[in-house]
Amino acid sequence: MGTSESFPAQGAIPVGYGPEGIAVDGEGRRGYVACARSDSVAVFDLDSREVVTQVPVGREPIGLVHDKQGGHVFTTDARSDVVSVIDTATLKVVKQIPVQHYPAGAGFYPERRKVYVGNTADNTVSVIDADRLEVIATVPAKTAAGSLASDPVRDRVYCVNFGDASMTVIDGRSNEPIGEIKLDYAPCKIAVDAPRGRAYVANSLVSTVAVVDLDKQEVVETLTVERAPVGMGLGRRGDRIYAANRGTGRVSVIDRQTGREWARVPVGKAPGDLAVDQLSGTVYVSDAGTSTVSVFQDRLDGEPAELPSDWRHPLIGKPLPSFSLPDMVDGRPRTSEEYRGKKYILNFFASW
């Protein structure tokens, strides 16, 4: 079966500008996505695949978590330094909780009724009581604290630090930092498989997924994926993980046991976060570059007969070829030969 047969596309839902954090409620048949450039949360119907409403929140909502038990959605509004709380019954904001500077990451620990917020500019984690809707602790992390995930088996919470290439381990009971795990550059998103004792971290700058042993608290494997993975998710059957590659507009489907890439599923431009409907296995991907949510089903029963070809350019790992570029000051050609043996930086601007 090819990619289109194994992962049939179910369309793309137009939402607000710059969608990032996303969550789906399979039982309630609704999805929620933080639209960072629209300062809103788009609420969409999983069956009709249409937006029900746009809920205004603070400026630049990035992270989003859904508390089904409490009937709330929480968004981290980075440029307002608040967490907006949306009532899922009325689809209205019922409270905005002040946190620290530039909250970009979010995580939820249902068993302890806590929402965790990565304050990127302050290198801290705010802990919010999900029932009282107030901050109960502030935990020190490392540079550019971001995405978070909980581990009820070990009673821990993990915060990936984008600027420090590390993960802060937080005790779920005391809200105290109890360890640190070194990662690769620019970790963006973490997904935790607590029963199997594994965490998967998308390292966006080096295009890898780190496999972390949660008992040993160390990286035990590094998987290579396509360019700039930003989103991570776990398949409902526990045998696969998903990595949303922002630089290619595709989602890597990876076998959890072998680490082999099973497929690459096309989605919209600059995919960010993703969410999996654990009832149907349908995958929802927020496409920041096209302001859509891509929807596809996962019908792959096991390892496919044919694996994806090597996507890497044949020049990777080879000596830099000679090139010439115009000088930005006077326009005259400058060649790589002028800089042979010297250190220099090539800036390829991210155009999404």
Please name which of 57, 86, 60, 58 lies closest in space to residue 73, comparing C-alpha atoms: 86
* Among the listed residues 10, 17, 22, 7, the one whose alpha carbon sits nearest the alpha carbon of residue 286: 22
Q: What is the mean pLDDT of the chain?
A: 93
HSE, side-chain direction, 13 A CA sphere, residue 136: 17
pLDDT for 347 equals 66
Q: Which domains does the chain have, with CATH numbers?
A: 12-296 (2.130.10.10)
On the question of pLDDT at 352 being above 70, the answer is: no
Model confidence at 42: pLDDT above 60: yes
pLDDT digits (tens, 9 = 90+) for 236-294: 888 999 999 999 999 999 999 999 999 999 999 999 999 999 899 999 999 999 999 99
Q: How confident is the model at residue 350 (pLDDT cuts 50, 70, 90)?
A: low
Read off the pLDDT band of 351 (50, 70, 90): very low
| d(C-alpha 278, C-alpha 8), whole Å | 17
Report whether pLDDT(159) > 60.
yes
Cβ pair 85, 99 in contact under 8 A: no
Contacts of residue 237, defined as CB under 8 A and 6 or more positions apart, other chains included, come to 281
pLDDT of residue 317: 63
- pLDDT digits 0-9 by tens, 167-214: 999 999 999 999 999 999 999 999 999 999 999 999 999 999 999 999
Buried b (16+ CB within 10 A) or exposed e, 239-264: bbbbbbbbbbbbbbbbbbeeeebbbb
pLDDT at 312: 64
Round to whole Å and give the CA distance between 32 and 27.
Answer: 14
At 216 the pLDDT is 97
Q: What is the 3-state secondary structure (H, E, C) of 315-338?
A: CCCCCCCCCEEECCCCCCEEEHHH
Q: What local confidence, expressed as pLDDT, does residue 311 receive? A: 63
Task: Express each pLDDT in 101-138 by its tens digit.
Answer: 999 999 999 999 999 999 999 999 999 999 999 999 99
- What pLDDT score does 349 carry? 57
320 pLDDT above the threshold of 80: no
Residue 6 gets which letter from DSSP? Answer: H
The whole-number pLDDT of residue 100 equals: 98
> What's the pLDDT score for residue 291?
98
